[in-house]
Amino acid sequence: MESVEYPDWIIYYSLNALQLMMKSSFQAIHWAGSSLQLLDQRRLPHDEIYLDFTEASAVAGAIRDMVVRGAPAIGITAAYAVVLAARQHTTSALADWRTPLLKDIQQLSEARPTAVNLVWALKRMQRCLSRVSDDPVVTLLDEAKQIHQEDIEANRQMGEWGANLIAKGDSVLTYCNAGSLATGGYGTALGVVRSAWAAHKLVRVFAGETRPWLQGARLTAWELLRDEIPVTLITDNAAAFLMQKQQVQWVITGADRVAANGDVVNKIGTYPLALACRYHGVKMMVAAPLSTLDMEMPAGSEVIIEQRPEAEVLEQAGRRIAARGASAWNPAFDVTPAALVDYLVTEAGVIAAPDTAKLAAFHPGLPSA
């Protein structure tokens, strides 16, 4: 049979199309030119609805109300919100646009207290602001896009480092959602899962449903299935039994903040997973970009843990499920001591058994907040 010669450009464009098809076909955070569009994560997996924002104060509300969530994602969102604030205050006839802009930045920084990426991104935007004297919008937009792009690149790199640790035939349990939805794209923990899956290493991916917001059942399952990665859900309280049955070799999570001593602050329920891992000889991997490392925070015990409304525990889909009169304690995050973490994976490399000395030695490579 005669072979057909294709011109280079056809091959080039076909490869690009293939790469595009392989990418998740959604973007949780989208800069639309003059507004910010956020995929409303409260409505997933049933409805894919984008909300349009033109004001920073509305974006602060969206972060607080979980329209967008996940540490890197809320940092990126807040960076774009600073651009919205700059547009708003420079187009109004105000001579002093800096004062209301700084007020908006302050409001954004208070939207959620635990994820360090939020203040990290806002400090970066503020540093950028201090370098401009006239119209700041273009410069701020460039910076926000840069933060977004860097996060995707960091995730891809972490995916590779993390997947290298996984042996062929392993199975993993992930928790909450540390995927494309929680980041600029690709994900931290789910970035590792994606890369390990692509390398044909993983047998099974389990996800904990993650009470009370069900990020595992609603979001992780949704985005893995979109990438055609099969996922098996477990109730949160089935995790230790899954380990006892030797069904997983790894627990892989993201982080909202990693303290200077290596303690990991992440979704409530991460700590009991790490405890069970140690007992059962399952490895605990935490994948987090450098922007999640907080070298000014000596230990996880000093991090402010967000307390969320009781109703999130007492009700489901707006309907009360708890006995009338019961109250609820609803911390959104817990602290996993560094001693329970086997690997901390960042875009700059992997730290095995992280501790204060190892993080400090690693520190010179860290971009300061």
Residue of 20, 114, 129 lying closest to 334 (CA atoms): 114
For 15, counting Cβ atoms within 10 Å of its Cβ (0-12 exposed, 13-18 middle, 19+ buried), the class is: exposed
Q: Is 52 a catalytic residue?
A: no
Among 266, 291, 336, 346, binds ligand MRU (CB under 6 A): 266
d(CA 155, CA 251): 18
* Strand intervals (E) in the chain: 29-31, 36-39, 50-53, 170-174, 202-208, 232-234, 250-253, 257-259, 264-267, 283-287, 293-294, 315-316, 319-320, 333-336, 343-346, 349-352
Q: Could you tell me the smallest distance in angstroms from the CB atom of residue 72 to ligand MRU?
A: 5
Per CB under 6 A, 267 contacts ligand MRU = yes
In this chain, which stretch among 29-37, 70-78, 224-232, 348-356 interacts with ligand MRU, using CB under 6 A?
Answer: 70-78
x/- letters, 205..234, toward ligand MRU (CB under 6 A) = ----------x-------------------
Residue closer to ligand MRU, measured from CB, 69 or 89? 69
Residue of 272, 294, 284 lying closest to 345 (CA atoms): 284
Per DSSP, the three-state class of 85 is helix
Residue closer to ligand MRU, measured from CB, 188 or 249? 188
Q: Which residue is nearest to ligand MRU (CB)?
A: 254
In the region spanning residues 321 to 340, those forming contacts with ligand MRU, defined by CB under 6 A, are 332
The gap between the terminal CA atoms of the chain, to the nearest Å, is 62
114, 211, 299, 361 from 312: Cα distances, Å: 18, 9, 28, 41
In this chain, which stretch among 101-109, 196-204, 226-234, 252-260 interacts with ligand MRU, using CB under 6 A?
Answer: 252-260
Among 72, 75, 162, 262, binds ligand MRU (CB under 6 A): 72
| Residue 124 · residue 147 · CB < 8 Å | yes
In this chain, which stretch among 18-26, 141-149, 176-184, 334-342 interacts with ligand MRU, using CB under 6 A?
Answer: 176-184
Q: Could you tell me the smallest distance in angstroms from the CB atom of residue 44 to ligand MRU?
A: 12
Per CB under 6 A, 159 contacts ligand MRU = no
Which of 104, 151, 256, 334 is catalytic? The answer is 256
Q: Which residues bind ligand MRU (CB under 6 A)?
A: 69-72, 115, 176, 178, 182-183, 188, 215, 253-256, 266-267, 332
